[in-house]
Amino acid sequence: MSDAVGRRGVVRRGAAGVLVVVAIAAGGLGCTSEDGDLRGGLARALTTAGEAPAAGLVDDEEAELTLREVSFLTEWELVNVLAWQVSHPPHLYIGHRNGTDAAVVSRSTEAFDALVAADGSGVPDEGSVIDLVTTRAEVVRPQDRLVYVVHAAEDIEFRADLDGDDERRRQQILQQFGTEITPPRAVTAPEENWLVTLYVVDAAVEGDEHRLELREIEVGRDGSVIGERADVIAEDLPLPYYMR
């Protein structure tokens, strides 16, 4: 690894969490239901849970509610809520099950991991565990950071029309990591756990703290995150100044 980039490691441990769910009042909730039923059910559940601001965003007809299809959930579903009536749209994911339970799972590893545990489907194959780790990275990110998984160096979203030092930095990153960055991969770790390796862009929404990380995550067959390690392999990436 070139001295120009360097590496520094951060070790993170998964923590057991308890999923807090709220019963939704009678009335259909599901991504095949009428839009008003979906909004109304989620809004009522969030209000009951003391999440009035989130409930207000969900209930706004201009907010976009999008199902995120995942392979590691069978009883629960993930819904992304994108509200455009504010300058910095909140990062909000809601988990719901059969129109009876709902929980906010964004920005919290504990809530997300508890959702996976409550579903109980586990991750029996490579595809499902990679889907779990990728989704988790993007859902639990803080509000003030943008996180996305890259499969190749070309997936890094640099600012347009770079010149000078920024363009040289872009070329350096592409040259240095052009053959190193690969799609996420999973192998069987000791004691039948999965070890997933993936490359992640982790960028501040405001400011220029933009970095590339190599993450290794150990996951049990039941979908529980046992341990995490993140190595920062490149910093000062000339990325866009994000609005959310």
Same domain, 137 and 230: yes
Same domain, 98 and 146: no
Position 24 scores a pLDDT of 38
When pLDDT is cut at 50, 70 and 90, the band that residue 236 belongs to is very high
Position 42 scores a pLDDT of 82
Residue 224 has pLDDT above 70, yes or no: yes
Final residue in a domain of this structure, among 119, 151, 169:
119
Same domain, 108 and 191: no
When pLDDT is cut at 50, 70 and 90, the band that residue 208 belongs to is confident
Residue 141 covered by a domain: yes
Residue 240 covered by a domain: no
Same domain, 166 and 86: no
Residue 242 covered by a domain: no
Position 87 scores a pLDDT of 61
Phi-psi domain of 63 (left: phi exceeds 0; alpha: psi -120 through 50; beta: other): beta
Q: Considering only 47-51, 107-111, 199-203, 217-221, which range has the smallest mean pLDDT? A: 47-51
Position 243 scores a pLDDT of 54
Same domain, 96 and 183: no
Domain that holds residue 168: 8-15+126-234
Same domain, 152 and 210: yes
Position 85 scores a pLDDT of 59
d(CA 219, CA 196): 8
Same domain, 161 and 138: yes
Q: Compute how many other C-beta atoms are within 10 angstroms of the C-beta atom of residue 107.
A: 18
Residue 89 covered by a domain: yes
Final residue in a domain of this structure, among 71, 102, 119:
119
Residue 36 covered by a domain: yes
Sign of CA dihedral 58, 64, 69, 70: negative
- Report pLDDT digits (tens) over 143-188: 889 999 999 999 999 999 899 999 999 999 999 999 999 999 999 8
As beta bridge partners, residue 217 has 196, 228
Q: Give the single-character DSSP code of 62.
A: T
Same domain, 135 and 223: yes
- Residue pair 184/214 in contact by the 8 Å Cβ criterion: no
Mean pLDDT on 76-91: 78
Same domain, 156 and 89: no
Same domain, 229 and 131: yes
Residue 8 has pLDDT above 80, yes or no: no
When pLDDT is cut at 50, 70 and 90, the band that residue 6 belongs to is very low
pTM of the model: 0.82
When pLDDT is cut at 50, 70 and 90, the band that residue 23 belongs to is very low
